[in-house]
């Protein structure tokens, strides 16, 4: 074979592989970008930031009119029982308000959201780092990328009833990793409660953009395991007061309040001081269904 023929054959092979890759990506369309996403059941299994960024462009606004916005502490909450609204859980492991705003912004141009539940917790406002490539993600990655391939494989495994990893529900609710309980009752350093100006401003802008479109916003303070809360009560109370003064006014559901003492004292609701397990998440879902319609 001559070098010219070899180059031609190689180029043709690469082109054919790319065409097949693009065809599979468009056919499977795990982010709902290339065909009508209404009524579809799309899930996240890998790189939640990028996945929820891409899903928010068409899939989320086409199927949901409510958002739960927060870090990993609310990742396994399922607010589906709140009446009058269909909620999507936009929470992402380790996220901050700067990242969440970037994800939510993708849904706002076409979305009509009735309700947004926004988590108030120090990690949301302590930094503005963009992690896992969220600073550079583009729609092109839905045609070819590692996370696309992994989501496609997970979709196939799920369809044939094989284990598919930490697969989210169609509404974005994601189970937390089943780790042994780990209650490290420590007093957090002062920098844990620092207010990063960029993160706070992003949070403020996100809430303003939602409310300006007629979205009802409710802030939610997640419940800390009681021994950990007692050890850091003064710092957490100071943080709550400061951050609420800096954000637009909206109703607040404080799950650190006295009426939730029994929940927070029960170690069986928790994985660690911050994250609730499936049992705890189910109880929180009930609280949200009962209380959000009253205060929003």
Average pLDDT, the chain: 88
Higher pLDDT, 155 or 213: 213
Q: 73 to each of 76, 131, 249, 294, how far by Cα in Å?
A: 7, 17, 23, 23
CA distance 89 to 171: 6
Of the candidates 58, 42, 62, 56, the one whose C-alpha atom is nearest the C-alpha of residue 159 is 42
- Residue 47: what pLDDT? 79
By DSSP bridging, strand 87-89 and strand 252-254 are: unpaired
SS3 270: strand
Q: 50 to each of 142, 229, 283, how far by Cα in Å?
A: 10, 33, 29
CA distance 201 to 12: 51
Express each pLDDT in 78-137 by its tens digit: 999 999 999 999 999 999 999 999 999 999 999 999 999 999 999 999 999 999 889 888
- H or E element at residue 185: none
Beta bridge partners of 221: 254
Q: Where are the beta strands (DSSP E) in 160-233?
A: 216-221
Of the candidates 294, 236, 265, 296, the one whose C-alpha atom is nearest the C-alpha of residue 283 is 265
Q: What is the DSSP string of 162-183?
A: ---SSPPPTTS--PPP-PPPB-
Q: What is the DSSP string of 86-148?
A: -EEE---TT--HHHHHHHHHHHTTT---SEEEEE--HHHHS-----TTTTT--GGGGTS-HHH
Q: Which fold has domain 53-134+169-295?
A: Rossmann fold (3.40.50)
Express each pLDDT in 42-91 by its tens digit: 988 877 899 999 999 999 999 999 999 999 999 999 999 999 999 999 99
Give the pLDDT band of residue 15 (cuts 50, 70, 90).
Answer: very low
Beta bridge partners of 182: 272
- Residue 181: what pLDDT? 76
pLDDT of residue 180 exceeding 90, the answer is: no
Which residues, other chains included, contact 4 with Cβ-Cβ below 8 Å and sequence gap of 6+?
A: none
Query: Comparing 8-12, 48-52, 137-141, 267-271, which segment has the lowest mean pLDDT?
Result: 8-12
Tokens 């009962």, residue located? 290
Backbone angles phi, psi at 257, to 5 degrees: -70, 165
pLDDT of residue 3 exceeding 60, the answer is: yes
């Amino acid at each position: 074979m001559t070098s010219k023929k070899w180059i031609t054959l190689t180029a043709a092979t690469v082109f054919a592989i790319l065409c097949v890759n693009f065809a599979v990506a468009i056919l499977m369309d795990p982010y709902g970008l290339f065909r009508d996403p209404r009524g579809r059941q799309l899930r996240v299994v890998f790189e939640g930031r990028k996945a929820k960024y891409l899903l928010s462009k068409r899939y989320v606004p086409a199927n949901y009119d409510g958002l739960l916005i927060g870090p990993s502490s609310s990742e396994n909450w399922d607010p589906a029982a709140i009446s009058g609204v269909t909620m999507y859980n936009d929470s992402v492991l380790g996220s901050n308000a700067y990242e969440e705003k970037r994800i939510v912004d993708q849904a706002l141009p076409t979305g009509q959201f009735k309700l947004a539940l926004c988590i108030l917790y120090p990690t949301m406002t302590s930094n503005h780092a963009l992690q896992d490539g969220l600073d550079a993600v583009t729609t092109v990655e839905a045609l070819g990328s590692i996370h696309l391939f992994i989501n496609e494989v997970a979709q196939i495994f799920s369809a044939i009833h094989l284990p598919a990893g930490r697969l989210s529900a169609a509404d974005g609710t994601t189970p937390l990793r089943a780790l042994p309980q780990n209650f490290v009752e420590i007093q957090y350093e002062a920098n844990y409660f620092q207010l990063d100006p960029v993160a706070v401003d992003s949070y403020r802008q996100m809430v303003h953009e939602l409310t300006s479109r007629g979205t009802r916003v409710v802030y939610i303070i997640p419940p800390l395991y009681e021994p950990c809360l007692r050890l850091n009560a003064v710092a957490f109370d100071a943080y709550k007061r400061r951050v609420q003064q800096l954000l637009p006014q909206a109703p607040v559901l404080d799950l650190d309040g006295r009426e939730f003492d029994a929940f927070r004292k029960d170690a069986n609701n928790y994985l660690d001081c911050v994250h609730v397990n499936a049992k705890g998440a189910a109880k929180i879902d009930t609280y949200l269904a009962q209380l959000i319609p009253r205060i929003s």
